[in-house]
A and B are shown apart, each in its own frame.
Chain A
Amino acid sequence: MDFDLTDEQRMLSDSIRRLVSDAYDDFEKRKAYRAEPRGYAESNWQKFAEMGLLGLPFSEDDGGFGGGPVETMLVCEQFGRGLVVEPYLATVVLGGGLLKRAGNAAQRAELIPAIAEGTLTLAFAHQERQARHDLHDVATTATRNADGYVLNGAKGVVLHGDSADRLIVSARTAGGRRDRDGISLFLLDPATAGVTRRGYATQDGLRAAEVVLENVTVPADALLGAEGAALPLIEQVVDEAQAAICAEALGAMEVLRDLTVDYLKQRTQFGQAIGNFQALQHRAADMLVATEQARSMAMYAAMMVQEADPTARRTALSAAKALVAKNADLLGKDAIQLHGGIAVTEEYKAGHYFKRLTMLAGLFGDVDHHLRVVVAAGGLPEAA
């Protein structure tokens, strides 16, 4: 049992913290990044590449740095602290996670070095409107023809799907809409004929897109991984994304908590700092409890995402997400309430943290969904 970071991990965490606090020190900068053509700062993306963050989870053989879930946790926690808008989750965690596991040697050689250098971004086009949180619910089809496959369907809320240089699209090569078998993954250049992307901002200041596929022809070598067998892989990579989301939410929660406590010390009413009032002190204390419990579950997520048994892994990740999402919601609302009116203004930071936390809490399944997963499994897996 060991909760310490290695010296290398500590250094990594410190340098990301410096980078993020430098790039995001002034909230006006974030606004400017969002106004850039891709909805984020190319310059930040290049800095991430220079620091090695974009190649972090890839193997050294593929041109990466061989980092694991703990390293991803450290990155995402700091990104959460800064409310970073760059497409790390979409490109590195989701897209990269699928690519490094399912990609053949040629696909990995073509794409991974470009991702690590910061010249190529990915988005995972999987969500469909009717599926809600069910990862196996895929109606988009991929029909085999002489040259490859023809894709038809509609994908929704594809994170950073408007700016991604390549999409990874899930589609059915066999089976019915809700079958576990028959789902395949395809690498798709969004410039291909028949692909329509409608990009938009998300409530928390990031970007997403609706993607429509109409008779989109892709070559046979666009297939990523074995035909019809993608679901277990998708589940694994989404679990990795959940671990990253837990870490990102944790970082945002800690900043929002500290912002609130500072405000309680500064704001005076009735001739004294409002932090003198016990009704507010106890809510602030509950915010500390909520963040510490969330930190524990973010660590649990980072450790259990490596679990070999898929059911145990999924159950553990759902437990982690449920608790982090619940605490993020409680803490976010308390932060707004304790601040009072200032927190509901666009110009003050707190509301933006609240919005990001609200969206992270619902991403890849809300509290109810993840609780259902734990209930269906009969409870949490016993640790070895």
Chain B
Amino acid sequence: MDLRYTPDEIAFRDDLRKFFRNEIPLSIRRKVSEGRALAREDYVTSQRILHAKGLATPNWPVAWGGQDWTPVQRYIYVEELQAAAVPQPLGFNVNMVGPVIATFGSEAHKQRFLPSTANLDIWWAQGFSEPGAGSDLASLKTTARREGDEFIVNGQKTWTTLGQYADWIFCLVRTDSTVKKQAGISFILIDMKTPGITLRPIITIDGGHEVNEVFFDEVRVPAENLVGELNKGWDYAKFLLSNERIGIARIGMTKERLARVKRLAQDTPAGEGMVWDDPDFRRRLAWSEIELKALEITQMRVVAAQRGRASDKPDPSSSILKIKGSEIQQASTQLLVDVAGPYAMPRPDRDEEGLNLPSVGPDWADAAAPLFFNYRKVSIYGGSNEIQRNIIAKAFLGL
């Protein structure tokens, strides 16, 4: 038992650290660090730099641009990426549709989609949730009926993150309503330019435009866009959702944020001293650090346990990482609001860069409260924390 990295692992880490900090533009990393919205171009620029180095899709099959890394190397990659405030390669492309196509898609799908998906030439959106199908995703109602060489899609998807930038959307659609709800779902790829698709922004409480509703009205989709077998979409969805085990807790990112909270607290005046001098604040910060350290080791244990066994089985650790990871992420954004103090209040207009210059108060402070508001999402999405507790109770405690 040894927490330390081997010399090879340290060399691997240092190479990545240098690359991320030298090659990804500081202007982009600064936005990530401050929790500000990124422009489409920021994602594209960053992902293409990573992809040119083979660092956008390390978890894909090696034949399609993946890396033959150990679990520890994969872990270090995610940690360092987040610690350097590099935008994560677009999850819809890299962690979701890419692996599904690589695993279940036809050869033609792979040739057509995988290279452009890796390079973010195609921007994918996720069409899973519906107004009536959230935690109970399998009750989804968007239908696809077969007519000749096409599927005709009708229905509504929602919470479509960054759908405003999307070129394509991968959707779960109902192709058989006469069977058990999980058994009548298919996984289909739809070009967002197809007639009959309407996208409507949803503005969230932080003022951001991150999510959308997508309406499908008699949308004609070539039958060849079906991935895998008809009515097997639920299996592919489960595969997809279990795919982001490393990184779901965003430990590297929270570490970076807590370090930032510390720096800002040391620099922010509070009466006779600084915010940092307030013992109650320091205690809350210490708790976040302690919980994060425990979670980091929990995550390392998961990584270590993955060596030499298939990783597509559910595992209580992914639910633990989700629950604790989201709680600590939320706590870290709250600490930031507390450091900002009165200057958490101003909500000035932003320029097109998303920056507020000249600033009202400290130049970071106006982003604090929106980030805190925005981060309420992390205990809701990806299977709410209550759903995670259901999973733990049923699958691991046998209740």
Spell out A's residues near B (CB within 8 Å). 1-5, 9, 70, 261, 264-265, 275-276, 278, 280-282, 284-286, 288-289, 292-297, 299-300, 302-304, 319, 322-323, 371, 374-375, 378-380, 383-384
Contact = CB atoms under 8 A, between A and B. Distances in A.
A1 B72 contact: yes
Given A380-B289, A380-B293, A4 B397 contact: no
A2 B1 contact: yes
A375 B279 contact: yes
A380 B286 CA distance: 8
A341 to B, nearest CB: 21
Nearest to A379: B289
B293 A299 contact: no
Given A293-B298, A323-B294, A288 B396 contact: yes
Contacts of B283: 371, 375
B285 interface: yes
B390 interface: yes
A1 B293 contact: no
Nearest to A5: B1
B320 A292 contact: yes
B297 interface: yes
A371 B3 CA distance: 23
Interface stretch (B4-12, B18-26, B359-367, B369-377): B4-12
Pick the 8 closest A-B CB pairs, nearest first. Answer: A296-B297, A281-B393, A285-B392, A285-B389, A275-B399, A3-B304, A282-B389, A293-B294
A278 B394 CA distance: 10
Most buried by A among B303, B305, B320: B320
Contacts of B388: 285
A165 to B, nearest CB: 33
Contacts of B319: 285
Interface of B: 1-6, 9, 72, 262, 279, 282-283, 285-287, 289-291, 293-298, 300-301, 303-305, 316-317, 319-320, 323-324, 386, 388-390, 392-394, 396-399
A8 B339 CA distance: 50
B229 to A, nearest CB: 34
Contact of B3 (A278, A285, A300): A300
B295 A293 contact: yes
A70 B287 CA distance: 25
B290 A281 contact: no
Contact of B294 (A288, A297, A379): A297
B297 A297 contact: yes
Contacts of B285: 379
A284 B393 contact: yes
Contacts of B324: 289, 293
Contact of B393 (A285, A300, A319): A285
B399 A281 contact: yes
B398 A261 contact: yes
B397 A288 contact: yes
A288 B392 contact: yes
Contacts of B72: 1
Contacts of B316: 288, 292
A288 B316 CA distance: 9
Contacts of A286: 389
A278 B390 CA distance: 8
5 contacts: A70-B1, A261-B399, A278-B393, A284-B393, A300-B3
A304 B398 CA distance: 35
A297 B297 CA distance: 8
Given A70-B1, A288-B392, A293 B291 contact: yes
A133 to B, nearest CB: 16
Contact of A282 (B290, B317, B393): B393
B294 A303 contact: no
B338 to A, nearest CB: 15
B282 A375 contact: yes
A289 B323 contact: yes
Contacts of B392: 284-285, 288-289
B399 A300 contact: no
Contacts of A294: 294
Given A1-B300, A289-B320, A375 B286 contact: yes
A187 to B, nearest CB: 33
